[in-house]
Amino acid sequence: MKQKEKYLTVKIAEIFAPLLTEKKRIKFYYGGRSGGKSYAFADSLLLKGRQEKLLIACLREIQDSIKDSVYKLLCDRISLYQLNDYQIFENRIENKISGSKFIFKGLRDQDAHHIKSLEGVDIAWIEEAQTISKRSWDILEPTIRKDGSEIWISMNRELENDPLWIAVAAHPDDRTLVRKVNYTDNPFCPQEIKIQAQKCQSKSPDDYAHIWLGEPLRQGHNKLISAELVRRAFELSIISSDSPLIIGLDVARFGDDSSVFCFRRGRWCYKFISYEKLDNVEVANIATNLIKDYQPYRVFMDIGGQGAGVYDILKDRGFIEIIRGIYFGEKAINEERYFNRRAEMWDNVRGWLASSPQVQLPEDEDLFNELTGVNKKYDRRGRLQLEEKDEIKKRLGRSPDKADALALTFAEPIYNADEPRLYRQGQISLEEIFTTQLKGRNEIW
């Protein structure tokens, strides 16, 4: 008697449909507990493995025994659906009809020789991807090299800088599909799980956000500058300082922003002056007067927007020795660590606030909200990056003009003319100061 062919009815939530319908190099699903990721991946792979001959590798960072893997889940699904075309072996699963094969491996212990066995893989499923190291990913990605091969990734976010998150999902390209899925998106989520989630929500919203909504652990880490650091700087009162005066000038970009001058001498930041609705000539006139009256050592100004016009006027008036134009978006002095100049300058503010002896800021709630309101993130190279200006603006309701003006005073290290660095026989040349500048020696803020 001809055996009636069984079809696997894929009962997966719509959000997982792209696993089966879309052609993408990487399919990245992340979220909190019980979103249905493991089941959906398992069912989709079993279905695909029946349709054509595929080599499917189920991977994780560490796999001491097959029990650590998704082997058991696949076996359970095979048994539930009575997929008799699948044959289960001790350490692999094969489809007798299509010839598909599931293999299971831990990545950490793969040496170059073993990893080669993955070169013919059609689909690699990385489960519990939050534990995958950057090293494992760097070895794996080029190994999955067969034409049309796909990498499926399921992750419960752990930290903000989960290596695979940064490498793959934080800035996805058009060959990468990224979807967030939580228990609330899982139509099969058991009642018991929902009760546990709700209990957690009422007890600790932070735990709930992490465990059930898939947010990375906060640990206060996504704020660049903590409230505590800023409050501490408000408390101090320094009367004066011998350090050179640095002025940061953030020129208004649009009608609703202010142009702000920030005055700082070393660890003493003592004044902000804001002006609204000035044109370039008016801002340049004010800057000219301030330069004449206070004789700053440097004026750093943002020339990404309107500031360029002000810069040209000041240059024309002969202040080229004093003024420096800075593009927030340009590459950082320390390119390895910072995504751009803006991230670098803001992180210098953070370092300054945390330094000892303590530093001082004028008490100002606008400044407080601006400094503590900016979130940080990391780009795919692991470099510090600030969130986009539009996002900050949306939250603050305005641009962080004062904080940007303060950040500008940290655009470049300033050399303390009063304390020349002794070099060789007590001699130091200007050129040497300049060429060692980036190594951070003898510099002061």
Ligand X SMILES: Nc1ncnc2c1ncn2[C@@H]1O[C@H](COP(=O)(O)OP(=O)(O)OP(=O)(O)O)[C@@H](O)[C@H]1O
What string of DSSP letters covers 23-66? Answer: --SEEEEE-STTSSHHHHHHHHHHHHHHHS--EEEEEES--SSG
Number of residues this chain uses to bind ligand X (CB under 6 A)? 15
Buried b (16+ CB within 10 A) or exposed e, 29-50: bbbbbbbbbbbbbbbbbbbbbb
Residue 36 found at the interface with ligand X (CB under 6 A): yes
Interacting partner of 294 out of Mg ion, ligand X, none (Cβ under 5 to 8 A depending on kind)? none
Interacting partner of 86 out of Mg ion, ligand X, none (Cβ under 5 to 8 A depending on kind)? none
Q: Judged by CB, which is closer to Mg ion: 36, or 307? A: 36
The length of the chain is 445
Q: Give the β-pairing of 26-30 and 176-180.
A: parallel
Interacting partner of 342 out of ligand X, Mg ion, none (Cβ under 5 to 8 A depending on kind)? none
**Contact region with ligand X (CB under 6 A), list: 32-40, 95-103, 238-246, 395-403:** 32-40
Residues 186-245 touching ligand X, rule: CB under 6 A, are 186, 188-190
In angstroms, what is the minimal distance from the CB of 5 to ligand X?
21
- The pair of structure tokens assigned to 128 is 């519990």
In angstroms, what is the minimal distance from the CB of 269 to ligand X?
46
- Nearest alpha-carbon partner for 42 in 116, 93, 115: 93
Is cis: bond before 142, omega within 30 of 0?
no
**Contact region with ligand X (CB under 6 A), list: 29-37, 161-169, 248-256, 310-318:** 29-37
Residue 38 found at the interface with Mg ion (CB under 5 A): yes
Residues 150-189 touching ligand X, rule: CB under 6 A, are 156, 186, 188-189
**Contact region with Mg ion (CB under 5 A), list: 37-45, 264-272, 300-308, 376-384:** 37-45
Q: Judged by CB, which is closer to ligand X: 189, or 403? A: 189
Interacting partner of 307 out of Mg ion, ligand X, none (Cβ under 5 to 8 A depending on kind)? none
List C-alpha distances in Å: 212 to 41, 126, 161, 191, 353: 19, 20, 19, 14, 35
List C-alpha distances in Å: 233 to 192, 226, 237, 245, 290: 49, 11, 9, 18, 25
Question: Hey, which bits of 266-310 come out as E strands?
Answer: 268-276, 298-302
Contact between 405 and 249 (Cβ < 8 Å)? yes
In angstroms, what is the minimal distance from the CB of 373 to ligand X?
32
**Contact region with Mg ion (CB under 5 A), list: 35-43, 56-64, 235-243, 355-363:** 35-43
Task: Give CA–CA dist 20/212, Å, rounded.
Answer: 26
Interacting partner of 188 out of Mg ion, ligand X, none (Cβ under 5 to 8 A depending on kind)? ligand X
In angstroms, what is the minimal distance from the CB of 210 to ligand X?
12
- The sign of the torsion formed by the CA atoms of 122, 44, 183, 200 equals negative
Residues that bind ligand X (CB under 6 A): 11-12, 33-39, 43, 156, 186, 188-190
